[in-house]
Amino acid sequence: MAEQLTGLADDRALLGRTSTAERVSDILRGRIAEGFFPPGTRLSEDSIGGALGVSRNTLREAFRLLTHERLLVHELNRGVFVRVLTVEDVEDIYRTRRLVECAVVRSLGEAPYDLEALAAVVEEGAKAAREGDWKGLGTANIHFHRELVALAGSARTDELMRSVFAELRLAFHVVDDPKRLHEPYLARNRQILQALQAGDRSAAEEMLAIYLDDSLERVVDVYRRRVGEGEALL
């Protein structure tokens, strides 16, 4: 916990003179996404508030915001914890992803599309793979889907999926072999990008739907295998 709090103290400068619960929640959301606070971790008000230099009320409001986003859970008489997803949670996340991401691709209209950001994150993933940074590749994969959603040009859709992708990271932190989970999708990201560059959104949507189904199967398999082995998902 000491190392985690030292990292949070480094984030204190981000708050500046405009310290708000929203800014604190942004910091904590990012730290949770990075695996800094893994699923099941109890978040201490005193320790985190002290590290960030914010009041208890501000921190509680930030916790409330992240609980609303399903990243944290409050347990009576025990405190606030980083949420541990169930298989049903994972299935629902992917159901939402399929509905939104495929709809975005399907509704793109006529080519050409602005794919510069999408191409950049494909290269981000390739670089992580070359360096053997498999968690970094997982992050790049999520960035790919975030940029794919951004093609809709909808701030509301971006906000919705920001929460979904943050929750998805909780599932990824349970996976004990990030290379096996993330590496196969680097090539698929590039194929989807190439289909969009060619203006073939139908092919891109079909590839994306299969991609999401396969990814769901892999993540759920890990969850069920670990439960079958009697291992707690913490």
The 10s digit of each residue's pLDDT in 57-107 is 999 999 999 999 999 999 988 999 999 999 999 999 999 999 999 999 999
Same domain for 219 and 107: yes
Domain-ending residue, one of 38, 56, 82: 82
- Give the per-residue pLDDT at 3: 64
- Can you tell me the distance from the alpha carbon of 65 to that of 24, in angstroms, rounded to the nearest whole number? 10
- Can you tell me the distance from the alpha carbon of 73 to that of 88, in angstroms, rounded to the nearest whole number? 16
Number of domains within the chain: 2
- Is 233 among the domain residues? no
Contact (CB, 8 A) for 14 and 31: no
Q: Summarize pLDDT for 10-48 with one digit per residue, the tens.
A: 666 655 544 578 889 999 998 988 888 989 999 999 999
Q: Which whole number is the average pLDDT over 111-119?
A: 96
Range of the domain at 45: 2-82
- Give the per-residue pLDDT at 230: 46
- Is 30 among the domain residues? yes
pTM to 2 decimal places: 0.82
- Give the per-residue pLDDT at 229: 53
Same domain for 165 and 56: no
CATH code for the domain of 53: 1.10.10.10
In the predicted structure, residue 170 carries a pLDDT above the cut 80 = yes
- Is 137 among the domain residues? yes
